[in-house]
């Protein structure tokens, strides 16, 4: 940077400066069943996210002696006014959608009543005391193919897994698991995730009429600053 303010930590790593925005937490809380016979969850943020690009929603299902399956994530709102998100349990054989979340964006919002704010040279707000930073912790892309079966509709369902220890302070980016993927036919490859707590495995499931075996989508994790 050529001017402004810069903070470094004890290891000499730049943690904040007045040129680049960080991933910051705009809102956090819990999600819970709100409809669809207890399978669907619509959650509204404590404050709207004002970014033009869609914000990143990270979730951590409550630890249960079962599988917590999530799918069909979608954001509520539009550019400059993102107000919440929807997520659904995988099926009635998996846990209901209960857990914690935080929503983050690359750019702060004026949230604190007092403290400190930093703007860049163009006047964009980069830091606000009321929007703490989030830190990416790890990502998994080395999925292991386990098996496949077929759904009641005759679609191929493939199971991929990775060993996982499910720490309480790590949250998974759920936006990517709300997207359909390309498949070998005109029907999109639907995507789901399972948190298999009893077996200490994270699963990705894909369902399609013609379902390729290759799967490289990363599962991305982050945690909030404490």
Structure tokens at 214: 């290759």
pLDDT exceeds cutoff 80 at 103: yes
**Ranges of each domain in the chain:** 6-136, 137-224
Q: Rounded to whole angstroms, how far apart are CA atoms 169 and 103?
A: 15
Q: What are phi and psi of 187, to 5 degrees?
A: -90, 125
pLDDT 10s digits, 12-39? 666 666 667 788 899 999 999 999 999 9
Do 103 and 73 form a contact (C-beta atoms < 8 A)?
no
Least confident of 115-119, 133-137, 170-174: 115-119
What are the C-alpha distances in Å from 218 to residues 5, 125, 142, 177? 34, 30, 8, 10
Enumerate residues 6+ apart whose C-beta is below 8 A from 58: 101, 102, 103, 104, 134, 171, 172, 173, 174, 221, 222
pLDDT exceeds cutoff 70 at 3: no
168 by DSSP, 3-state: which? coil
Q: Rounded to whole angstroms, how far apart are CA atoms 187 and 208?
A: 7
End-to-end CA distance of the chain: 27
pLDDT 10s digits, 142-179? 999 999 999 888 889 999 999 999 999 999 999 998 88
């Amino acid at each position: 940077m050529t001017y402004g303010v810069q903070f470094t930590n004890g290891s000499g790593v730049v943690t904040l400066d007045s040129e680049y925005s960080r991933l910051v937490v705009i809102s956090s809380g819990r999600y819970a069943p709100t409809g669809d016979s207890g399978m669907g969850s619509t959650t509204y943020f404590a404050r709207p996210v004002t970014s033009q690009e869609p914000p990143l929603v990270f979730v951590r299902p409550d630890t249960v002696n079962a599988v917590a399956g999530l799918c069909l994530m979608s954001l509520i709102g539009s550019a400059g006014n993102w107000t919440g998100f929807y997520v659904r349990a995988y099926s009635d054989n998996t846990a209901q959608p209960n857990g914690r979340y935080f929503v983050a964006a690359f750019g702060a919002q004026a949230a604190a009543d007092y403290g400190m704010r930093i703007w860049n040279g163009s006047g964009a707000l980069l830091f606000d005391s009321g929007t703490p930073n989030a830190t990416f912790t790890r990502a998994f892309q080395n999925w292991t193919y386990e098996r496949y079966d077929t759904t009641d509709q005759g679609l191929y369902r493939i199971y991929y897994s990775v060993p996982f220890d499910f720490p309480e302070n790590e949250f998974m980016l759920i936006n990517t698991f709300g997207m359909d993927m390309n498949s070998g036919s005109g029907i999109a490859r639907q995507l789901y995730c399972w948190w298999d707590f009893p077996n200490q495995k994270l699963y990705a499931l894909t369902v399609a009429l013609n379902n390729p075996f290759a799967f490289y989508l990363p599962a991305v994790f982050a945690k909030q600053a404490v």
